[in-house]
């Protein structure tokens, strides 16, 4: 299911629909759109409001959310439509989580810091994979390419959850899962 133009954060901010966007480009586009939308600057009443523009900015600044939105714009499956993960991934994550819990219980903050670094490296690896899949999806957005894109994104989400849970300031009441 594709995003409507009114809620498409790329279009709201006047950015190209692509994963590879620099944060400074997103910020510039946001500020420009905000100036245009402001009533004192002659903003149109039927255009996006500041809250919509801010939501678009926050979504695009989050790499994982931007990848999900990009896939949606290509017509790819959502996480609820395709829940597949790479072969063996779930078992590996279950084993790792047990290992992480045991190490943090035994070694405290030192172990937590080590696992946070590991998870950040995994995040970077998934971003690299998504960049490669974006190139493929841009040139050949067939169902298999979009499916593979979703499977990688589903695995990436597990790593994001792990990072959220490793953060000592993490508040499960505000989690989005």
Backbone angles phi, psi at 79, to 5 degrees: -65, -30
Three-class SS state of 97:
helix
Predicted local confidence at residue 49, as pLDDT: 85
Tell me the per-residue pLDDT of 132-177, one tens digit each, with 9 for 90 and over: 998 877 666 678 889 999 999 999 999 999 998 888 664 443 444 3
Q: Looking at 12-16, 42-46, 55-59, 87-91, which range is the least confident one?
A: 42-46
Q: What does the block give as tokens for 97? A: 């989580």
- Report all structural domains of the chain as residue ranges with CATH numbers, in order of start: 1-61 (no CATH), 81-177 (1.20.1280)
Cβ-based neighbour number of residue 140 at 10 Å: 10
With 0.85 as the threshold, say if the pTM is over it. Answer: no
Kindly give the residue spans of alpha helices, DSSP state H, lying in the chain: 9-12, 23-37, 50-61, 63-73, 89-107, 109-139, 143-166
Beta-carbon contacts of residue 11 (< 8 Å; ≥ 6 apart): 5, 17
């Amino acid at each position: 299911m594709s995003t409507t133009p009114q809620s498409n954060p790329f279009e709201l901010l006047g950015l190209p629909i692509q994963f590879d966007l620099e944060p400074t480009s997103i910020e510039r586009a946001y500020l420009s759109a905000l100036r245009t939308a402001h009533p004192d600057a002659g903003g149109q009443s039927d255009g996006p409001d500041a809250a919509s523009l801010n939501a678009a900015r926050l979504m695009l600044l989050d790499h994982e959310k931007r990848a999900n939105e990009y896939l949606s714009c290509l017509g790819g499956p959502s996480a609820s439509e395709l829940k597949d993960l790479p072969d063996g991934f779930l078992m590996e994550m279950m084993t790792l989580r047990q290992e992480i819990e045991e190490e943090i219980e035994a070694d405290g903050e030192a172990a937590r810091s080590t696992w946070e670094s590991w998870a950040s490296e995994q995040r970077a690896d998934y971003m690299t994979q998504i960049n490669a899949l974006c190139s493929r999806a841009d040139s050949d957005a067939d169902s298999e390419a979009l499916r593979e894109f979703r499977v990688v994104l589903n695995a990436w989400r597990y790593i994001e959850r792990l990072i959220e849970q490793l953060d000592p300031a993490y508040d499960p009441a505000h989690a989005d899962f």
